[in-house]
A and B are shown apart, each in its own frame.
Chain A
Amino acid sequence: GAVVSQHPSWVICKSGTSVKIECRSLDFQATTMFWYRQFPKQSLMLMATSNEGSKATYEQGVEKDKFLINHASLTLSTLTVTSAHPEDSSFYICSAGSGRVTDTQYFGPGTRLTVL
């Protein structure tokens, strides 16, 4: 299957700072990327869908000004958690697809964010 990477794999930051997480599709062009969040012992919750060159679509209840998503190229999407607080501590996972409707989505390994 296709390979999706994330960087960093884990990050610890102080409350009030901003953190950027990168998601890259290594061997295919990803027209669409998805960002998920997973709290301990819970399932994945979709945060937003981003299409290359356009604004992201956020799920209900996700603050677009707090979770900034940029999908400037066909191989890179970034998620910036602005003014992070302890309640933002979570496992953030991206997935990527080529954009075709029957396209399989491949997931990155995830980024564990801890906000002190």
Chain B
Amino acid sequence: DAKTTQPTSMDCAEGRAANLPCNHSTISGNEYVYWYRQIHSQGPQYIIHGLKNNETNEMASLIITEDRKSSTLILPHATLRDTAVYYCIVRTATGTASKLTFGTGTRLQVTL
């Protein structure tokens, strides 16, 4: 699976949009971009995933650049409960169910 690069940490004021970038310059055509987050001492929580098109769900939006070499996760109105480590993962969608390889992620701190 392609490697991803994320900033180590970010701060965001409560109520503002949190934009979390991810670089995946070696991504292949059949690889999806997944985002998970992990709140302290809990299991990771699925947020969103996409292949080429931008995606939106009740939690967040995922913007993927046209060349697919980077993406941005957007939390439109961050709250204190969004404080967590966010992981951007590139996953191959061929063969049997593929594993997720976690990097170090971005620690998002939402403040008052």
Contact = CB atoms under 8 A, between A and B. Distances in A.
A56 to B, nearest CB: 12
Contact of A104 (B49, B102, B104): B49
Contacts, number: 63
A81 B93 CA distance: 31
A93 B43 contact: yes
A34 B41 contact: no
Nearest to A99: B97
Interface in A83-103: 91, 93, 95, 97-103
Contacts of B34: 104
Contacts of A112: 41
Taking chain B's interface residues, is the majority helix, strand, or loop, or is none over half, making it mixed? Answer: loop
Contacts of A6: 43
Contacts of B104: 43
B93 A102 contact: yes
A34 B43 contact: no
Interface residues of A, number: 31
Nearest to A111: B43
A67 B42 CA distance: 22
A70 interface: no
Nearest 5 A/B pairs, CB to CB: A107-B43, A44-B102, A32-B97, A43-B102, A107-B44
Given A34-B99, A93-B43, A109-B43, 16 more contacts: A4-B43, A32-B96, A32-B97, A34-B100, A43-B103, A43-B105, A44-B38, A93-B44, A95-B100, A97-B97, A98-B97, A102-B32, A104-B34, A105-B97, A106-B46, A112-B41
